[in-house]
Each structure stands twice: as C-alpha cells, then as structure tokens.
Structure 1
Amino acid sequence: MLKESIFIVNQLNKEPFLKNLTFPSFEALSPLMLLEVLNEVLTEIQPKYTEIIQDKTDEERVQEMINLLSMLEYEPIKECCDLQAIREGLDTNDKVVIYPILFWLLQDVSTLKRKAYLSQFTCEIEVPEFLHHDETLYIYSNKQKEQIQKFQQTFVMYEDLQPLSVSKNNAVVENRTMQNNKCSLLKQKEMLHKELESLVKSPDILLKASRQLRLERERAKLVARQTTEQEEQLSQAQKRVSELEEQTKGHLVAGDNAADLIVELKNEIEANTVKVMEKLPTELEKMRKEVDALQKLAEMPVVTAAQLLEMKNQIQDVTSKIHKRTVKIIIDQSCEEDRLKSIREKASAIHQTNNLKAQELQDLKDRLAFVERKAKVSATQTRFHDGEWGLWDELKCKKINLRKKYEEVDGLKAERAHLQGTKRVLKQTAQYFHPLLQILEAEKDKTGPSDVQRKLERMAFVKKKDQSQTDMCELRRLKAMMASLTSYMSTLREERKAVRQQALEDRFELKRAYGTTALNEKLKLLKDENAELERQCNDKQALLETTKMKLKAAMFELKAYNCLEARHHTTKSVKAKGTEPRSRTNKTK
C-alpha cells in the first residue's frame, strides 16, 4: 500500500491534475476528498462522467462507477476480489478499495482514455432473451455490429495517418507561397511570349535553323564518339606495341633465334586451330542441345490442376509400393539374418573344434621339438637316463590334454542341460496344443498343422539320417587320417629311438676303432638324415592340415545347403497346405 500511495501522489502532482500534494497530506484526506479525487481522475479519462453522475443517488453513482471500471477492463485486487465488497468500499469511501483503483487508473491514463473513447461507439446493446425471436431487433443488432466494425477500421486508418498529418497553419502558408509562385510564373510566361512574337516574324526560317542546329549537334556527338573510339584503339595499339617491345627484349635477353620463334608461333597456331576446329564445335553443339531442350520445355502445354492431382496420386501409389517392398525386404533380411545366425553358430562350433585340433597339433609339435632337443643332448652328453625325462614330459602333456578334455566335457554337459530344458518346455507346449489342434481338424475335416508337422518331422528325420550318414563318412575319413597320422608318429618315434641306440653303439665302436674324426663324420651323416626325416614329417603334417580344412569347409557348406533346402521345402509345403483350404472354400462358394 505504501508504494501504491507514493505512486498515486507523484502522478497527481503531474499534469493534467497538478494537485501539489504530499504523502502525509494525501494520507490525511477525508473519504469525501478521496472520492472527489477518484471522480476527477475518472472525468479526465471519460469527460462525460460528470454529466452522467449529476442528479443521481449514491447507489446509482457507485453502479455507474463500477460500469465504467468494467468497461475499462479493471481486474479487482486479490484482497477484495468480490464485487459486493468493492461496491460497499466505494459506498463507504474505503481506502482499501479506492487506492488500488487509483493506482491502476494512473498507470496509463492515455490508453484508458482511448479505451473510454472507443467504448462509446463499440459497446453493443444487450437484447433481452424474450426479444431474441423478433426479426427487426435481429436486423438492427446485425447493422449495429457492422457499423462497429466499420468504425474500428476507420479508427485504425486514422491512427495510421495521424503521424503523417500536417498542421493547418503550415498548410495555409504553403498554399499562399504556391499561389505567389504561380502568379510570378504566369507573368514570366507572358513576357517570354511577347518577346518571341516581337523577335520571330517568320517561324519557318527559325524552324530550319533549329533543325540544322540539331543536325550539327548530332554530327558533333558522332565525331566525339568516333574520336573516343579512335583514342581507345590508339591506346590499345600502344599497349600492344609496348607488350611486343617487352617480348622482343625478353627474346633478345634469352638469345632466341628467329627459327625458334617461328616454331613457337606455329605451335600456338596449331593450338588455336585445335580449339577452333574441335573444342568450339562440341561446345556449340552442347549449347544448341540445351537451347532445343529449353524450347521443347517452353512449347510443352501447361500442366493443369487435374494433371497435377493425377501425378500426385501416382507418386503416392509408387511411394506406397516402395514402402511395401521395403517392408518385405526387411522381413526377408530378418529371416536371412536368423539363418545366418544358425550358420554362424555352427561355424563357431567348428572353429572351436579346429582350434582344439590345432592346439593338439601344437602340443605334438612341442613334443617333437622336445624329443629333438633330447636327441641333441644325448648326442653331446654321455648320460643314459633320457627315457625318464621323456616320460616326465609325456606325463605333463597328458595332464594338459586331460584338463582340456575335462573343460570340454563340462561345457558339453551345460549345453546338454540347457537343451534338455528347452526340449522339455517344447514337449509340454506341444502336448498342450496337440489335442486342441486334432479336435479342430476333426470338426472342420481338414488336414491342419498337425499333419504338416508330422510330414515335416518325417522329412527332417530323413534329412537328419542323410546328413548323419554324410557326417559319419566324413568323420570316418578324419578318424582314418588321424589314425594314419598317429601310426606315422609312432613309427617315427620308434625309428628315432632305434637311430639313437644305433648312434650310441656306433659311437662307442667308432671311438674304439677310428677315433674322434671318423665319429664326427658319422654324426654329421646322421644329422642330415634326421633333418630330411623332419622335413618329410612337416610336409606330411601340412598336407594333412590342408586336407582337414578342406573337408571341414565342405562339411560346413553341405550342412548350410541342407538347412536352406529343408527350410525351402517346409515353406513350400506350408504354402501348399494353406492354399488347399482356400481353393475348397472357393469351390463351395
């Protein structure tokens, strides 16, 4: 309230009120004086307010005040939001009601004046409900609305033109000056007309002279234009001369001959001829084609709205077809992804088995390297307990292989448990739905999905048999290859042992017979034989690995082909079974 009262005092001390009030004096005002201040502010906003209030009772004055405030779109304060409370406050001249009203009115007096002025002409007359059916009143109310709209439009135009308006005094002064200028110009015109009449007695001579003068002026313009063109040509020629002089100076400095310059000129002429004869015609043809295309476009008839609608409909049809095709492609891709997932899983399983086999081969290679190292040690040293170290290493390798086998067995057990659980769930669902399907098939006398499932199971069983037979053949081949490899390795070990024993015996014999030189020669021969045997063994291992990889790749391709063939066959059978009942229903129809 304090801020509101200070603002009210400041606004009342300004124009157009000029009250010369202070804050204490304003607070000390009596209720009647406050009411007079409010009436003065309202009369400033609405000049006819004093005429309306005269010769009226207090209740009528309060009602008129409330009507004016509602017309000015006054929103009551939160403390006194009730209209009855506002009416009582205005009747008793309460400060709690009058201060907010004054504060709101004095915030923007100019806009409120405009609202009050417009409200005189834009307020619609309210017609009672029992007179709504009267046609004359309805017509007059519509006319009133039209007049209000016209008034609003004219007022907007007036406001737009108001800043551009000129004052009356300035307009009068400008009009007088223009009239004076008009009189002076008329006098000058009369004087010039009299001078012409006095000078020119024969107008034909004057016209001829004027024509000749005009022709001479045109000739002078042509001469000036020709001189400017010649000056430009002269300046261009001077520039060309200066360029040629610079070129000659450059050639003299470089020490060029006339023959070289002639060759350069010939080359330039050839390049220019190539441009003119080859490049320019192609460019001209391109330009002609573009011009022809543009002419065709210009000659084409204008597309009508109906044609545009047809084209839009065609575009929409094409877009819908594209959308359907994309959806179909996405579905096919998802099916292919499922197939690829299964193939990838099988490939990962085969890859794991390959890794295990590779690890086994690596272990065999390590054992072979260890045996070779042992042979070298036995050749250099005189120890005879090499068999114990070999047994120890073999035991270590067997222990590592056993651990790997145990890990593989644990993984297979976990997979088996998971597969058994899924199998159990699938059996339960099949047992639950199988009798229901049989009942439905018996009711409709149709071969349903149960028969299809049986046929599919038979086909899958046959496929599995064929596949298992092929897999068994491949496994037998692999087992035979592995058996041959193991037999070869065992024979190699036996040969190495025999060679080692023979080497030891020969060593002692040669020591006794020939000495160290002959023994060294014999040792070299044995080493060469051992190297050849190792090379042959490595070649055979490489051949075995390549054949094994080829066999596994062939098995993988065969399995993938069998899976795809089985799925294709199942989809065909399902489609055939789905089309049979439709054809029967069509026949019955």
Structure 2
Amino acid sequence: MSEDMKFIVENLNKKPFSKKFNLISFDALEPLQLLQVLNDVISEIDPQQKVDLRDEPPEDTAVRMFSILRLLKYKPPTDQGNLSAFRLGLVQGDKLVVHPILCYLLRNIDDLNTRMYLSRFLVKIDVPMDMLQDDTVQSTFSTYESLMKEFRDVHRAKEKIKSSGATAAEIRKDIANMEEERRQVKARLARQKKKVRDNVPNADAAIKAAQQQRGEKGKERELAMQKVDQKNQLLHTEQRYQRLRKQLRELQTANMGSSAEGLIQQLEEENAGNAFTVKEKLPKELEAAHQLREVLKKVVDEPVLTPDDFETLEAKLHQTNEVCQSLHEERLQQQRPGDDKLSLFRQQAAVVSRKKAAVAQTLAERREELGNLEGELAEKRAKFDGVGKDDLEPDGMNKLVSAVRRDHDEMRAQKRKLEALQAENGIKERTLDLLIEREQEIKQELVEVEEQYGITGYQKTQHKMEKVASRKSKIDEQKERVLEEMSALVIELNKVIEEKKATLTPLLADMRTLRQAFTATKTRYDEAKAKYDTTRSEVESELAPLEQEVRSLRQSDMQQSSRLLYLQATVEAMSVKLARAATELKLYQSGVKEQDAKQQTFREFHNKTMVHVEKQSKELKQTQKDVRTRHPENIKQMKMWQDLHALMGAKREAFKQQEEQRQKQVAQDQEMLANEDHLVL
C-alpha cells in the first residue's frame, strides 16, 4: 500500500496535475478532498467530467463516477459483498477504495485517453427496433454504421503508421523527394506548354478546350454513377411495387364474390363474436382470476401456523367435507325428472352455448396467431425491403421461394380452417335463431291454450319458476365448484402442512440446540464486550495525550529540519563568498603577472574591460562622424543611379516597341506578297 501511495504522489506532483503533495499531506486528505483529487484525474482523461464536488449532490457524483469507471473498464471486486462495499466506499471517499482507482488511472492514463477518445465515436446509439422500420431511419443508421467502420479503419491505419517507427529524417527526405518530383513535373509542364504555344496556332484556346473536355469527362463519370444509382433505386421501387401489387391481387382474390350484404354479415358475425367475448367470456375469466387472487391473498395473509393451528384446520376440513357431502346428497334428491316440454330446447341451447364458447376460444387463439404472423410478416418485409433480386444468389432465391410457398400453403390451410369454423358458427347461430323462433311459436300456442282453459299466466309463472330453478341450479353448481375447489385447496394445504411439518421438525430441534448455544455465546460475548469497552476507554484516555505529544514533536521536528536545511544552505553560500574574498585579497596583496590571466584580480579584469569599451566607443564615434560627412554625397550618387536605372528602362521599352512594329511590318509584307499574282513557269 505504501508503494502505491508513493506512486500516486509522484504522478500527482508531475504535470499536468502539479499537486505538490507529500506522503503525509496526501494521507491526511479528507474524504471529499480525496474524491476531488480522483475527479481531477478523471477530468484529465475526459474534460467533460471537470466539476467542483462541493457544488454537486453526492448521488449525482456517485452515478457519474460509476458510469465513467465502467466506461474505462475498471474492474472492482466481483463478488456481491465486495461490490456493495466498493460502492459504499467510493461514495464515502474511503482510502482503501479510492487509492486503487487512482493507481489504475495513473498507470494507464495514455491508454485511457485513447479509449475515451474512441468511445465518443465508437459507442453505438441505441435505436429501438420499431424506429428502424422506417426507411429514412434505416438508411441513416446504415450510413452511421458505415462511417463508424470507416473511422475504425482510419484509426487503425493511423496507429499502424504511428507504430511503424518512421523517423523525422526519413519523413523530411520523403518530402524533399516529393518536392523535387513536383519541381521536375512543373518544369516538364512548362516546356510542354511552351512547345505547344510555339507549334500550335491558337494554343490558349486549345488548352482551354482540353480543360473543358476533362471537366466534361468528370461530369460524365458522375452522371454515369448517378445513372447506376437511379437504376438501383428504380429496381428496388419496381420490386416493392410488384410486392404491393401481389398483395393487392391476394386481397382482391380473397374478397372476390363478396357483396355489401356479405361484408355486413361478416362484420355482424365478428361483432357478435366480440360481444360474446366481452360480455360472457372475459367476465367469467376475470371473476375466476379474482377468486384465485382472493384465495391466494388469504393464504399469504395467514400467519405462521403452529401445531394447534394445524389441528384446528384439520377439524374444520373434516366438518367442511361433511357439509359438502350432505349438500351433494340433498341436491341429488331434489333433482327429479319432470315433464318439462322445453328440456330438449334447453339442452340444445346449452350445447350451442358450450360450442359457442369453444368457437370463441378458438377464434381468440386464431386472432392471436394471426397477429403474431402479421408481426413476423412486417419484420420480414422491413428486413427484405431494401434487398433486390441481384443481391440474392440462385440457391438463396430458391430457398426463399420454397419458404414463401410453404408459408402460403400453411396460410391457405389455416384460412380454410377458419372459414369452416366461421361456417359452422353461422350454422349454429342460424339453428339457435330457428330454435328461438320455434320457442316463440310454442309460447304463443301455450298462451292460446291457457286462455282457452282459463289459466292465463300459467306459462309465465312456470317460466319464472324455471328461471328460479335454473338460477338455483347455477348457484348450487357454483357452490359445488367452490366447495370442490376449497376441498382441493384444503387437501393441498394439508399436504403442504405435512411437508412443512416433516421439514420443520428437525429444524426446530436444531433451533432449540442453537438457541441454547446462542444464549451461552451471547453471555460470553457480553462479558468480553464489557471488558473490551473498559480496556478501550482506558487505552484511549492514555493514548490521547500521547498522540498530542507525538503530533507536537513531529511538527517541531519538521520545523527544526527545515531550519537546519536553511542554515546549512546559508553556511555553504557564506563559505563560498569567504573563500572567494580570501583568494581575491591574496592575489591583490601578492600581485599577479600579466601572463597569468587566469589568476588576475577582479579589479584588474574590470579595468581592462573599461579600457576596451572606451576604445570601441571612440571608434564608433569616428565612424559616425565619417558617415555624417559623406551623407550628402552618397545621397546625390544614389539619385544619379536611380535616374540611370529609369533611363535604361525607358530605352528597353522603346526597343520593345520598335521590335513589335518591325514584326508587324514584316507580317504585313509577307501577307502582301502572298496576295499578289505570280507567274508560274
């Protein structure tokens, strides 16, 4: 630990930190000051982390430091206990936690700087999958990934060049060679231009035309690339159009032969199925879930059971079983076969109701399966939206076609099943409607018979009694179901209780033994703790004045050491001055020869220097006097040279004009000779 502290102090005293710590001052830092030092080191790696911890809440500081240490790949203790202690120690500024972090950061500061620099460009943005379904977001994210890959390649190339070991001399030599090649190319280009201008008429126009041609060729290449891109986009658009057209044909085929009445009937059937699900199926499931929740809540709220509680529950269970048995026997006695004329219709209605519930369950499952298939289809469409035919190999295309065919065949089979179920549901509903109509007719006939025999209202009374009986039977069935569930639950609880009894019996025996041992151990612990507290208070009372004395002695020692060093340095400086003064006095008294320049006195040395300086001053004054004397003549001579230079320039311009006039005259003479008629022999 002392070696680590020395390493930390040495590195913190260096640039760029320059903290000026020693081992004692660094070890005496408060937790907040130690955390501030850690934050300063982190801010040197990431300047965005530079903050004064006194102005930041401790929770934000902890979250920020945990995040940056995770990004810097610092590995704290891996087991759960040490990890919790590490987090608590970092928040509290514990030395045992902060010092290893400082060692890790200071030892790997160059690598961590590189890692932090790369993390700003190579950490991917988390984009949800549903947002990637958008074409614009997908293309932008693909461009982002390609740029990230390009940055990674460029950084690797840069590191490779950096580690190749090329020296500055080699780089300067390469630059000089390239400059020489550039100079040669410029010279060759100048010669070629001169040759073209001398031999080709209208050379400037030809050069300009060549430049325009090169520009047009570059534009042609760009247009060709744009043409290829447009072709690819057109191909992708056509493929998407074909897919959408195929989907449209499938929808048209599915809806072929359907009329408005058929669509309305289909919507009514769907509405009826949804109404049955909402009004009958879901409330029953919700009620069952509520009952199960209440039962489980009662089980959870029950306190820990004792053996007496077990016996009480067993007695209640026995009584409940007897009550259930008696109720079941009474129900069997009350059920007598009657001459109910509607029993057949009631049975058929019950069968239809059960089948309707089964069809509703099947329809819900099919809808859920259809939703899953539509989700998978959307994902596959998004995945293959930008893939063209040219991107697939023949084998891949064949596999894709076969998979699509299999999925299409399976979809057709499921569609046929769904149509069969819908047809059966329609038949059942039509049967139910016929039965209801028949029931109404029978009721009307019964009313007429009642009026004929003078017993009007008998059917309604009987119907009410049947409703009461059916309601009673439902309540009895519900009671029976609840009693059966309670019986099953009680049996299960008995099994659990027996298992817990069997498990807890040895544990209780062990617990009694451990409790006795704990009592004895606690007694010994209390006695030992009392002795420890007494001894600790005595030691602390004796240790406090000793610590105060040690601190005062250390401070006095540091002051005396500092004064000793200062006095030693002063004595050494005074000794050097005394030795120099003694040597100077000795040389002055004994005299020094002119040849012995090394042993001359300061007085002689300064006298010679003054003589030399006075001599130089006289020479400079004489030079200044000469310059002042010759200045007007030199000004006049400079003006004469300027006039001569202007005269020669005028002569040169006149000579150029005469030469141009002569060349024009020669050209006119040649043109006149060319236009004259000549006699050809």
TM bucket normalised to smaller: under 0.3
TM-score (norm 1): 0.27
Q: From the CA coordinates, give the structure whose radius of gyration is larger.
A: 1
- TM-score normalized by the length of structure 2: 0.24
